Amino acid sequence: MKKKVLALTNLYPSMVMPRNGIFIEHRLRSLLGTGGVKIKTVSPVPYFPLKTKRFEQYSKFSQAPKAEVRHGIEVTYPRYPVIPKIGMNLAPFLYASALIRPLTNLIQNGYDFDVIDTYYFYPDGVAAALLGFYFKKPVIITALGSDLNIIATYPLPRRMIQWAARNVAGTTTVCTALADRLVNLGVDKGKIQTILHGVDQELFKPPEDRADLRKRLALNTTTLLSVGNLIELKGHHIAIQALTSLPDIELLIAGQGKEENKLRAQARSLGVVDRVRFLGLVNQEDLCDYYGASDILVLASSNEGIPNVLLESMACGTPTIATSVGGIPEVITSPETGLLMEERTPEALVQAVRTVLANYPDRKNTRRQIEKFSWKNTAEEHLELINSILK
The pLDDT tens digits of the residues spanning 13-39 come to 988 888 888 899 999 999 999 999 999
* Bridge partner residues of 226 (DSSP): 253
Q: In the chain, what percentage of residues exceed pLDDT 70?
A: 95
Find the mean pLDDT for residues 111-129.
Answer: 97
Contact of 127 with 103, CB cutoff 8 Å: no
Q: Is the peptide bond before 123 cis (omega within 30 degrees of 0)?
A: yes
Q: Say which residues have a Cβ less than 8 Å from residue 54's Cβ, sequence separation at least 6.
A: none
pTM: 0.86
Q: What is the pLDDT of residue 166?
A: 94
Find the mean pLDDT for residues 237-246.
Answer: 97
Q: What is the pLDDT of residue 59?
A: 60
Q: Chain-wide mean pLDDT for the chain?
A: 92
Q: CA 111, CA 123: separation in Å to the nearest integer?
A: 24
For the chain, list the domains and their CATH numbers.
3-198+374-390 (3.40.50.2000), 210-368 (3.40.50.2000)
Q: What is the pLDDT of residue 46?
A: 85
Find the mean pLDDT for residues 265-290.
Answer: 95
Contact of 383 with 172, CB cutoff 8 Å: no
Q: In the chain, what percentage of residues exceed pLDDT 90?
A: 80
Q: Which of 34-43, 80-89, 114-123, 210-219 has the lowest mean pLDDT?
A: 80-89
Q: CA 185, CA 188: separation in Å to the nearest integer?
A: 9
Three-state DSSP at 233 gives helix
Q: CA 303, CA 288: separation in Å to the nearest integer?
A: 24
The pLDDT tens digits of the residues spanning 154-175 come to 999 999 999 999 999 999 999 9
Question: Side chain identity at 325, as an amino acid letter?
Answer: V
Residue, of 335 and 85, whose pLDDT is higher: 335
Q: What confidence category does residue 259 fall into, taking pLDDT thresholds of 50, 70 and 90?
A: very high
Instruction: Residue 241: name the closest of 280, 290, 275 by CA.
Output: 275
